[in-house]
Amino acid sequence: GESVGLHLPTLSVQEGDNSIINCAYSNSASDYFIWYKQESGKGPQFIIDIRSNMDKRQGQRVTVLLNKTVKHLSLQIAATQPGDSAVYFCAERGITGRRALTFGSGTRLQVQP
């Protein structure tokens, strides 16, 4: 079969529009979540994080929303720019057992000028 990477979900938006990238996480006991941005040839870059006792957190042009009821995380990017084009990963950390981050498979964001 073909690799997961070749079938990364892709979100294509126009420059200036808002982008929403979604992530379904797996562990209902996870207590900490992070969004990373990865550009070609570079390592994942931290964007924003949120603890499980919050449902929303805002940064510069970015907002993360957490819905623990349905185990859903989203990243909203306001006024998307060409420089936002990258692959975006969500990551979660459980509260028991292995405490390291578990990464999702990623979403590719393409910003059209």
Applying CB under 8 A, among 60, 70, 83, 98 the residue interacting with other proteins is: 98
Please, are residues 6 and 87 in contact by the beta-carbon 8 Å criterion?
no
Please, are residues 32 and 93 in contact by the beta-carbon 8 Å criterion?
yes
**Distance in angstroms (rounded) separating the CA atoms of residues 33 and 110:** 23
Choose between 41 and 113: whose C-beta lies nearer to other proteins.
41
To other proteins, the closest distance from the beta carbon of 2 in angstroms equals 9
Applying CB under 8 A, among 66, 73, 85, 89 the residue interacting with other proteins is: 89
Burial call 6-17: b when 16+ CB within 10 Å, e when fewer: eeeeebebeeee
To other proteins, the closest distance from the beta carbon of 104 in angstroms equals 8
Site size with other proteins, rule: CB under 8 A? 27
Task: Give yes or no for residue 42 binding other proteins (CB under 8 A).
Answer: yes
Residues 4-33 that bind other proteins (CB under 8 A): 4-6, 31-32
**Distance in angstroms (rounded) separating the CA atoms of residues 83 and 74:** 19
